[in-house]
Amino acid sequence: MMSNRMSNRTPPRAGLTVADYVKGVTSGDRSILARAITLVESTKPEHRALSQAVLQQLLPATGHAIRLGITGVPGVGKSTTIDQLGINLIEAGKKVAVLAVDPTSKRTGGSILGDKTRMARLAQSAGAFIRPSPTSGTLGGVARKTRETMAMVEAAGFDVVIIETVGVGQSETTVADMVDFFLVLLLAGGGDDLQGIKKGIIELADMIAINKADGDNVTRAEASAAECRLALSILTPQSANWKPPVVTISGRTNIGLETLWAKIEEHRATTSATGEFAERRREQALSWMHDMLEDRLMEALRSNPRVATSLPGIETQVREGRLLPTLAVDRILELMGLATP
């Protein structure tokens, strides 16, 4: 099996058919998996059509992995925690894929070297695969590519897919909508740990982990955990069957990660038994479809020659207060040949 230290932007190999991609991905061929993901990332219509045909055939092989989203403010230790957790899982016989979502990286589209440097041990493991989700300048584009990449690595046999939010803002909500379990990492700070992270993100959490709970920081971490439990007690849980726990961990020294993973498995067992897990997956599939529809409609709008010619003038009229925004939308829809209600 090839090392996962491969080029992040290997061009699609000329001449590979849908059957070639499907066979390569499902057999665990890292080179073909990388090329299949590159197809997903491509904006060329022919690559998109090929990637969708591949994904459709891979669909029966997807959906078996545990999908874990991890977020936290800068400096909280996400990469260190993912690196250690991933190593623990691999030592337990699992294959781990890590996808980093960074919609703010508009210039480079993500750095595979940077991700692998931050997760040095995991990057060296034959049981791991690390890949950033390239930005297309919009969070919707990142979400689409991340979902499709996740399907690819699941079909390739990875048991755990970890999605790390690198950017800030709505990326957390987007990731929470595509995973089974959403983990929020916080730092101990005697009350400061809830600063810098939105209340809405806390409400999305399936579990909160206070990181860096080692050495002289253990007491502060426990105090912060107690404060978080109090904060969660006044919020309405997302699930009637799961009350988000608060744990203390140290990703650097591998303290508490066994308990953390046990909680993730407990959540899977609990929600599966009640049918909530299957329903969540179904709703995520619909959400994926709706996001894709919006994405394609916006692409169709931008590529329409009549719209491209008239849009600057319409925007100027709206900006100057000479045209009502709702009427501007009606005009754009008419240019696209769509009847307005």
Q: What is the pLDDT of residue 5?
A: 41
For 26-61, what is each residue's pLDDT tens digit? 999 999 999 999 998 888 888 888 999 999 999 999
Q: pLDDT band at 230, cuts 50/70/90? A: confident
Residues 59 and 79: their CA atoms lie apart, in Å, by 30
Three-state SS letters, the chain:
CCCCCCCCCCCCCCCCCHHHHHHHHHCCCHHHHHHHHHHHHCCCHHHHHHHHHHHHHHHHHCCCCEEEEEEECCCCCHHHHHHHHHHHHHHCCCCEEEEEECCCCCCCCCCHHHHHHHCHHHHHCCCEEEEEECCCCCHHHHHHHHHHHHHHHHHCCCCEEEEEECCCCCHHHHHHCCCCEEEEEEECCCCHHHCCCCHHHHHHCCEEEEECCCHHHHHHHHHHHHHHHHHHHCCCCCECCECCCEEECECCCCECHHHHHHHHHHHHHHHHHHCHHHHHHHHHHHHHHHHHHHHHHHHHHHHCHHHHHHHHHHHHHHHCCCCCHHHHHHHHHHHCCCCCC
Residues 47 and 36: their CA atoms lie apart, in Å, by 10
Q: What is the pLDDT of residue 339?
A: 65
CATH number for the segment(s) 61-273:
3.40.50.300
Going by C-alpha positions, the residue among 66, 164, 67 that lies closest to residue 115 is 164
Q: Which residue has the higher pLDDT, 188 or 268?
A: 268
For 63-77, what is each residue's pLDDT tens digit? 999 999 998 888 889
Q: pLDDT band at 1, cuts 50/70/90? A: very low
The CA-based angle 33-34-40, given to 5 degrees, is 90
Weakest-pLDDT range from 102-116, 222-236, 259-273, 282-296: 102-116
Q: pLDDT band at 115, cuts 50/70/90? A: low
Domain residue ranges of the chain, discontinuous segments joined by +: 61-273, 285-335
Q: What is the mean pLDDT of residues 246-263?
A: 96
Residues 114 and 101: their CA atoms lie apart, in Å, by 13
Going by C-alpha positions, the residue among 210, 282, 271 that lies closest to residue 240 is 271
For 293-318, what is each residue's pLDDT tens digit? 887 888 888 889 999 899 999 999 99
Q: What is the mean pLDDT of residues 108-119?
A: 55
Q: What is the pLDDT of residue 22?
A: 96
Burial of 289 (0-12, 13-18, 19+ CB in 10 A): exposed
Q: Is the pLDDT of residue 2 over 80?
A: no
Predicted TM-score (pTM) of this structure = 0.83
Q: What is the mean pLDDT of residues 236-247?
A: 87
Residues 48 and 319: their CA atoms lie apart, in Å, by 35
CB 179 within 8 A of CB 86: no
Going by C-alpha positions, the residue among 172, 184, 311 that lies closest to residue 246 is 184
Q: Which two tokens stand for residue 277?
A: 């897990």
